Structure 1
C-alpha cells in the first residue's frame, strides 16, 4: 500500500470504525506522538479508541495530501467534546515507514460557522481536487518563498508576488477574502498587538496544486502553531485554509509540538 492508503486506513480505524485491532496493525509500537494531550506510543492512541466511540465522535475528511512518507488529512470532527469542542477542525500529519505509521503531528481549532466568519466561507469548504501534479515542485517553491519573504521576513510589499490579486479565497474565519481582506486583518491585528509572527517552518508537504505547511511562531507574544494549506493556480496562491492553536508549556510527552 502507498503511504496515503495506509494513513487513510488508520484514520478509518481510529475515527470511524473504531477498530483497535486494525489500528494496532497499522501503527509502529514506538509511534511518536506530538499531540500535546496524548502520551507517546501506539498503545496510548489505541487505548483512546473506545472512549471516542462511546462519545459519539464523528470524522469527515475533506482533503488528503501526500508527499513521500508524509500524509496530511484536513478534517472536521463532530460530537467532539472529548477533544475540546462540539465541532473541531483538524490538520493531522502522519509519517509512514516500512508500511507502518511511525509519527503524528496535529493542530485542532474549534469550528466557526460560515455565517459568523469574516469571509462568508466555512473553514473547510472550497476546492478539493488535486491537479497539476507536474507542478508540485514549482508550487511548493512558491509557498516556501512566500513563507520566507512575507510571513517570516515581513516583506509585505512582496505579497502580490505570491498571492493572486484577482482571486484569493480565504477560510481563516477572522480574515476577509482577497488581498484587501488580508491587508485589513494585518492592520487590525497589528493595532491590537495581536499580530502573528512565523519563526520556523517545520515541514512543507506538496501534492500538485495543494501545499501544506506546519510552522511555529507567536501571536500577541503567545507561542502558536500555524498549520496552513494553500491552493495554487497559474503560479499564484488562490485559496487558503488554516488551523491555529497555542502551544502549551506542558505536554503529555517530551516530543514537543513539532
Structure 2
C-alpha cells in the first residue's frame, strides 16, 4: 500500500507543460511499464535531451531512472538518489553529443564535455520497459595538448 501511495504522490508532482501553456499531469516512465522498442527509444531520447542538453539532472533522473537503478561507475553509489547527488554537484560544462543510438533495449550516448579539460564519455543505459534501470560508462580525460587529431 505504501508503494502505491508513493507512485500516486510522484505522478501528481510531475507536471508537463505543453506548447499551449496548459499544465497536465503525466505518468512518469518509472516504475517500469510495458513499452515497445519505439516507445523505449522515444523515452531514451527524451532522457538524453533532458539530462545532457537541458542539464535538468534531478528532473531527468526522477522522470526516467528507476529508484534502484544499477550503477557500474565505481565513483557513484547505487540507485537514482546517489546518481542525482553525484551529478548535481558537478559544474555545468558545454556538452556536445557526437553519437546517439538505441538498440535492443539499450541506449548509447557518445558525448564530449569541455571546460579546462576535454572529456570524452560513452554512456550505455539499459531499459526495462519504460524505465532506465542500469548504467555503464567509459570516460577519457584529455588535456588540450593530448588531443588526437582524429575526430571523435
TM-score with structure 1 setting the length: 0.40
Return the match for 1:207 from 103, 123, 148: 103
Q: Number of paired residues?
A: 118
Instruction: Specify the alignment match of 1:170 in structure 2.
Output: 71
RMSD, aligned CA? 2.7
Structure 1: runs of 5 or more not aligned = 1-131
Cα contact 1:222–1:246 (8 A) shared by 2: yes
1:6-155 equivalences in 2 (<5 Å): 135=37, 137-155=38-56
Instruction: Specify the alignment match of 1:255 in structure 2.
Output: 150
Shift of 1:250: 4.6
Shift of 1:142: 2.0
Between the aligned partners of 1:174 and 1:211, the Cα distance in structure 2 is 21
Task: List per-residue Cα deviations over 1:37-80 (Å, max 9, x = no partner).
Answer: xxxxxxxxxxxxxxxxxxxxxxxxxxxxxxxxxxxxxxxxxxxx
Between the aligned partners of 1:210 and 1:175, the Cα distance in structure 2 is 20
Return the match for 1:161 from 49, 57, 63: 63
Change beyond 3 A, Cα 1:252–1:202:
closer
Change beyond 3 A, Cα 1:230–1:250:
same
Cα contact 2:117–2:141 (8 A) shared by 1: yes
Between the aligned partners of 1:236 and 1:198, the Cα distance in structure 2 is 27
Cα contact 2:117–2:143 (8 A) shared by 1: no
Instruction: Specify the alignment match of 2:133 in structure 1.
Output: 238
Instruction: Specify the alignment match of 2:119 in structure 1.
Output: 224
Between the aligned partners of 2:84 and 2:147, the Cα distance in structure 1 is 38
Cα contact 2:72–2:136 (8 A) shared by 1: yes
Q: Mark the structure with the bigger radius of gyration.
A: 1
Change beyond 3 A, Cα 1:176–1:250:
same
Shift of 1:222: 1.6
Cα contact 1:140–1:204 (8 A) shared by 2: no
Match of 1:246, SS? strand
Shift of 1:255: 2.4
Instruction: Specify the alignment match of 1:185 in structure 2.
Output: 86
TM-score with structure 2 setting the length: 0.65
